[in-house]
A = this chain, B = another copy of it.
Amino acid sequence: VADKSREKLEVDAWEAFHSIRTSLLPPLVRHLNEQCGISEAEYLVLRGIRQATGLEIRPSRLSEVIGWEMDRLSHQISRMEAKGLVKRRACPDDARSFFVGFTDNGLEIINNALPIQMGAVRKLFAQPLTDAQLEELVAIAHSITSNLQAENLS
């Protein structure tokens, strides 16, 4: 009986995790779109660049910061450059690389979007949870990512 209830618990928790994803992300993304005029991908890239000290950053570094593969980032930067949100600037040290920086419009948009999105996350994600639940989420994520290093699905 103990095994059976553990199994049900596992399935329920997995579905719970997915229900958070699927219920929370769409309204957040829609809100970002309507209030700030940018997509989630554009938001993540602009936020990543803003974390850089000099308001510009090399793509390989940016890909680490936001956890994307280079091919994904390269496509996204191209689309955003075409839209006038970011611009590429030559890199003096290494001719293979370059810097990505904001356009004036891109900087204005992300400065506007950051507090708006943070407020929305707070309202929809954090507000209904207790301190203990927030702490537990951090612990859970740590357990899962640690275990991931060890396991490899063969």
- Taking beta carbons and an 8 Å cutoff, which residues of A are in contact with B? 6, 9-10, 12-14, 16-17, 19-24, 27, 31, 67, 120-129, 131, 133-148, 151, 153
Contact = CB atoms under 8 A, between A and B. Distances in A.
Contacts of A21: 21
A102 to B, nearest CB: 23
* Majority DSSP secondary structure for residues of A touching B: helix
A129 B28 CA distance: 28
B120 A153 contact: yes
Contacts of A127: 147
A148 B10 contact: no
B20 A140 contact: yes
B22 A148 contact: no
